Amino acid sequence: MGKPRGQEPPYPDVNYSWYVVGVLMLAYTFSFIDRQILSLLVLPIRRDLAITDTQMSLLHGLAFAIFYTFLGLPIGRIVDSRSRRKVIIIGITIWSLMTAACGLTNRFVTLFLARMGVGVGEATLNPAAYSLIADYFPKEKQGRALGVYGIGIYMGAGLAFIVGGLVIKWTMTTPTIDLPAVGTIKAWQLVFFIVGLPGLLIALLMLTIKEPYRRGVEVQGADSIPLAEVARYYRLNLRTFITHNFGFSLLALLGYGTAAWMPTFMARKHGWMPGDFAPYYGLIIMFAGTAGVVFGGWLTDRFIRNGRTDGAMRTGIICALGTLLPGTLATIVADWQTALSLITLGTFFSAFAWGAGPAAVQRVTPNRMRGQISAVYLFVVNIIGLGLGPTAMALVSDKIYGTDQAIGLGMAWISGIACVLATLLFLYGLKPYRESVARADELEAKQTT
């Protein structure tokens, strides 16, 4: 039996809490390495599997997103009543093994299925991690903590490009490799073994994480609350969740799409082979992205400390407006030096979303619903962002302009449209979000008395 709401224990030691964030960030880093490495293997995979840009975009997005998004909903319900640590450990094991399995494929269909398996494993991480962090930190510090966790996106994607670029150069001189018990495989297939299997060590590291006290819950370890109650709460805050979820999903759309196609674009327009461009792009993502996600989390917390309860949504507006010009111009300018500068600036601003988005959800959601409502948020973000982002840009290139060389125009059009629509959604959502915060605070006050 847990303690009444007003007698909750203090938050865990701050150093240990940040250690937890560090381990979760490391898991997020490996998840993004496994997710993003495909974008550097476009040329050899297209060559060996004889597939189109649109098919490649399906491997980037839809194959991964199908189970990643749909399984997030039942996983979110499990997160709200079971050990979040165990959920993450199982997920890391699955996605690491399925990433390695991508290296055993030699057809589009089997690679598609293996990518679906990666999505199954990675679906566990974010709902559980968001819920854990919200129980380790008070509300006024959650934006920064979730921002640091979000560094994993940029560390993982950056390392994927840096390491992947070096591996790609190696594959050009070593087209095939003989592996014991596996046989002869293409060099690009080996890449999936190299990035996938080390994730099993992170699953072991998760054993050092303790399951924290669930705050705002009278009975610890109780069964999940009825779905009807979750649905009622969601309907009560529908305008908030719609404007928030779809606004941040549009920012995710341009982020995922840009990361998927930028190496290919630089090769086609500026003559940078992916193996040469990848390390530079990886450094941009690691440093500009990390700076952006931390600054975005800090900015959200600062807004809240200054009485702006809609601080996370305001950060979303700044994110969209700051990304608009760099996102639309980076693939249009004539010289690669200006393009790199714009890519760096756009990466910094677009990173604001990855701390602000989840922080906003935790702020207006009761503890026993966080996993489920976070899963709905991730469902919308990933269906639109991850599932459609890479494909939308490829479709503009393939269907409207009719040439592979127009991928940059596809990236520019989709980025510009996404930023404008996200800004409008956030502006419309400011008032409903403030009302949701007040409603959540009133509910918490009732539970305390």
> Looking at residue 5, what is its pLDDT?
46
pLDDT digits (tens, 9 = 90+) for 287-316: 999 999 889 988 998 998 898 999 999 999
> Looking at residue 447, what is its pLDDT?
57
Would you call 156 helix, strand, or coil by DSSP? helix
Residue type, 222: A
Element housing 191 (H / E) = helix 187-196
Residue 3 resides in a domain: no
Residue 241 resides in a domain: yes
**Cβ contact 293:29 at 8 Å:** no
Residue 215 resides in a domain: no
> Looking at residue 216, what is its pLDDT?
62
Structure tokens at 420: 């404008």
The candidate with the shortest Cα–Cα distance to 351, out of 149, 57, 65, is 149
> Looking at residue 89, what is its pLDDT?
96
> Looking at residue 58, what is its pLDDT?
84
> Looking at residue 222, what is its pLDDT?
47
Residue 1 resides in a domain: no
Structural domain count, the chain: 1
> Looking at residue 331, what is its pLDDT?
94
Q: Which residues of the chain have pLDDT under 50?
A: 1-5, 219-222
**What's the gap between Cα 254 and its chain centre?**
12
For 114, the domain range is 11-209+227-448
Would you call 380 helix, strand, or coil by DSSP? helix
Q: Could you tell me the end-to-end alpha-carbon distance of the chain, in angstroms, rounded to an integer?
A: 18
**Cβ contact 56:365 at 8 Å:** no
Residue 5 resides in a domain: no
CATH number of residue 249's parent domain: 1.20.1250.20
pLDDT digits (tens, 9 = 90+) for 390-419: 888 988 888 888 887 888 999 999 999 999
> Looking at residue 318, what is its pLDDT?
97
pTM: 0.75
Would you call 366 helix, strand, or coil by DSSP? coil
> Looking at residue 303, what is its pLDDT?
92
Strand partners, 185: 177
Residue 222 resides in a domain: no
* DSSP secondary structure, 262-302, as one string: HHHHHHHHH---HHHHHHHHHHHIIIIIHHHHHHHHHHHHH
Residue 245 resides in a domain: yes
Residue 268 resides in a domain: yes
